[in-house]
Amino acid sequence: MSEEPTKLTIIKKRRVLKSLGGQMVLLMSGIFLVAMITNAYIQFRDEVFTMEQVLKVRAQSLGQMLSSVSVDSLVEYDVIRLNKYIESVASQAQVVHAVIVDTQDNSLTTYLDLNDIYIQTALERLNDIDSVAVVNELIKKPELVSFKVPVMLEDVMLAQTIVVLDNSEYVEASISKFEDKVLSTIFIGLFCGMGLFFIFSRKILTPIRKLSEGANNIANEEFGKVIHVKGDTELTDLSENFNQMSEHIELLIADRDSALSDLEELNTDLEKRVQERTIELQILNVEIAHQAMHDPLTELPNRTLLVERLKQNIYLAKRNEKHVAFLMLDLNNFKEVNDTLGHPIGDHLLNEVAKRLPTALRKSDTVGRLGGDEFGIVLPESEAENAIEVANKLIASLEPSFEIEGQTLTVGASIGVALYPEHGEDEASLIRHADIAMYEAKRNKGAPCLYDSELDHYTTARLTLMADLHKAVINDELNIYYQPQVKLSTRKVISVEALLRWDHPEHGRIPPEDFISMAESSDLIKLISGWVLENSIRQIAEWKTAGFEMVVAINLTARDLLNPSLADTIETLCEQYDVEPSMLKIEITESVIMSNPEKVIEVLKHPVLSKLNYAIDDFGTGYTSLSYLKKLPIREVKIDKSFVLEMIDNADDTSIVRSVIELAHNLGHTVVAEGVETERTLTQLELLGCDSVQGFHYSPAVGASILEAVVNKIESESEES
């Protein structure tokens, strides 16, 4: 029972010390005590300093007295008398020791008061009775004060007197006084602190305590208790404001409870709506996921899902040491269906094809639409023989005719096959290699084709050759040769065709059909065409300066013709080299025209490009529509050399050449025949009404430096004949 009051007392004391009042008392008492103690210390320090000064003055006066009485004794070197003087001085109160030393600080007196405790201590430490050594030892003590006074005779210093005095009594007295002041200061500080605490507790702590209790009541949602603070101070105003705040909070809480009730009802309704919306979103997400992974037309897996299935099967095959086959299927003659019957019929046909293809597959296989009329098929755990067998089944499934909106349609398929891991270890390689094999199957118009590296033109050697070609263009290592075009009616050279040549430093001369087709598969063709344009136009300018004017025909690809900057490039080069645009003839193949005929017509109407001459190159090898042929600003049609070379021995070729010449003349175009190598061919073409010829019969393609001589030779020989 006795321990509980003690614990409560300790707790209360701790609360008092930690309270604002306790901290106020501690702070004020601390400040007061520090100030008073500091003042007492300053007084103590001043007293000690004053006493030191008094002792120094006394030591100086004793030293001066010794100096005045010891002159004669020093002159006579009367040591006995000097010791008596020293003894007389040392016997005085507070004097510890005195000595007379010469100018070299050697002692001239030997008197020592052996009863003095300081001298006894010094002798014990020194083991020496020399007065100077004793003085040097004594002056190390802080309570002793020493002073030197010179002994003079007519401005000559004979010696010095040294007097050492004891200051300890004064210091002890000052310390005692300092301690009394500190004790009284502490008592006064505590008394004042308690007074301050009482006033502070009554005037400030009590109102604060009431406000604290009020805050606790508000925290516990007890709003009926009013706080009363006596007086007319800021705390009184604060208590009134506190009471008003309590009333306001009570009203706010009532409003809050009402709002929470309404919010709970709204939340219940919202949860119901969210649940309904979540179900709708789940259904929508399923639909979106299906749409993202399936072709919207055929509902088959799209490219994304097909590639993902192929990737997964490659992973499983790698782990289980199995094979995977990927088939690329492309419909034959589908373009003709679209162009002839329209896209709706084409889409309907694709849907019917998509229904038949799965019937030739296993459940574990995946067929998807890659785009257009191309489909991809993934065959897990499939060897080459099995893959070819499945490919034949797919082709067989498409053999029966399709009945679509009253039309009977028949389509075949070309299929390329690539295997993991023989033909590639990732999905990208398999797709690319299957695509290459599919195009080989389409070219052969036969059975499914298994990928062979010999079919792949995109080999390392090809890439190296591409890099070499790029370097050759940049370093100006290509050459342009010019082949004359002779007008039959006059036997005059009316133009020349610019033909590109590349002499590779390692592989020798590379045929244009090899590196041009390679360049057309990349952006390198733009760089090459730009190089040919600039060098040809510059050559026209050089010939013109030399008095030799010649129209130059340049071949452009579809990518060149549809390049938005083509017109600006030609205009800039013609202005730079002062060449008329009419000195240029652009040869365009049928395939370029039919790749986008409307766009080609629009391009050729450009104000700059319309000033050029145009010819259709390799006419007869494509499917140029007569309607487009009439709209194009064409002046010349070139018959492909494949018809000209055999026309003497092949009646069909002769018929084709005759038909082309008649068609071109009817449309108002002139005709140039390529590949004229013999006199018989030349004669036959002349009989058929051909306008101009080009070929080895007159001249192969030659360098620019000798072209003028070749032209002169052709024309002179024609005049002679």
| Token pair listed for 154 | 């007519």
Out of 398, 429, 456, a domain closes at 456
Structural domain includes residue 644: no
What is the domain-level CATH number for residue 715?
3.20.20.450
* Lookup result for tokens 């065709």: 497
Out of 433, 456, 479, a domain closes at 456
- Same-domain pairing of 279 and 225: yes
Report the 10 Å Cβ neighbour count for 311. Answer: 14
Q: What is the pLDDT of residue 163?
A: 85
Grouping H, G, I as helix, E, B as strand and the rest as coil, residue 426 is coil
| Token pair listed for 569 | 């490039």
- Same-domain pairing of 593 and 612: yes
- Same-domain pairing of 497 and 394: no
What is the domain-level CATH number for residue 129?
3.30.450.20
Q: What is the pLDDT of residue 545?
A: 94
Q: What is the pLDDT of residue 219?
A: 66
- Beta strand 144-153 with 613-619 is unpaired
Distances (CA, A) of 143 to 89, 139, 453, 642: 19, 9, 111, 133
Structural domain includes residue 15: no
- Distance of alpha carbon 190 from its chain centroid, rounded? 70
Grouping H, G, I as helix, E, B as strand and the rest as coil, residue 437 is helix
Structural domain includes residue 656: no
Out of 410, 431, 456, a domain closes at 456
- Same-domain pairing of 430 and 470: no
Domain count, the chain: 4
- Same-domain pairing of 398 and 509: no
**How buried is residue 99: exposed, middle or buried, by Cβ count under 10 Å (0-12/13-18/19+)?**
buried
- Same-domain pairing of 431 and 317: yes
Report the distance separating Cα 339 and Cα 183, nearest Å: 119
Structural domain includes residue 676: no
Q: What is the pLDDT of residue 13?
A: 47
Residue range(s) defining the domain that contains residue 599: 461-636+699-720
Is there a cis peptide before residue 301, judged by omega within 30 degrees of 0?
A: no
Which residues partner with 107 through β-bridges?
Answer: 101
- Same-domain pairing of 80 and 152: yes
CA dihedral 71, 75, 76, 82 (to 10 degrees): 40
DSSP state of 632: S
Could you list the mean pLDDT of each consecutive 10-residue stretch along the chain, which spans 721 residues? 51 52 65 71 71 72 74 74 79 79 78 76 74 77 78 79 78 70 72 69 67 67 64 65 70 77 84 82 72 86 92 92 94 73 86 93 92 92 93 92 84 92 90 88 82 68 79 89 94 94 86 75 82 94 94 87 86 94 88 68 86 82 58 86 88 90 90 93 94 94 94 86 63
| Token pair listed for 401 | 């005719």
Q: What is the pLDDT of residue 414?
A: 92
Distances (CA, A) of 561 to 501, 566, 569, 606, 609: 21, 7, 12, 12, 10
Structural domain includes residue 694: no
- Same-domain pairing of 415 and 316: yes
Structural domain includes residue 16: no
Structural domain includes residue 387: yes
pTM: 0.46
| Token pair listed for 139 | 């002056």
Amino acid at 46: D
CA atoms within 13 A on the CB side of 426: 2
- Same-domain pairing of 423 and 499: no
- Same-domain pairing of 56 and 139: yes
Structural domain includes residue 278: yes
Grouping H, G, I as helix, E, B as strand and the rest as coil, residue 690 is coil
- Same-domain pairing of 551 and 470: yes
What is the domain-level CATH number for residue 428?
3.30.70.270
- Same-domain pairing of 136 and 246: no
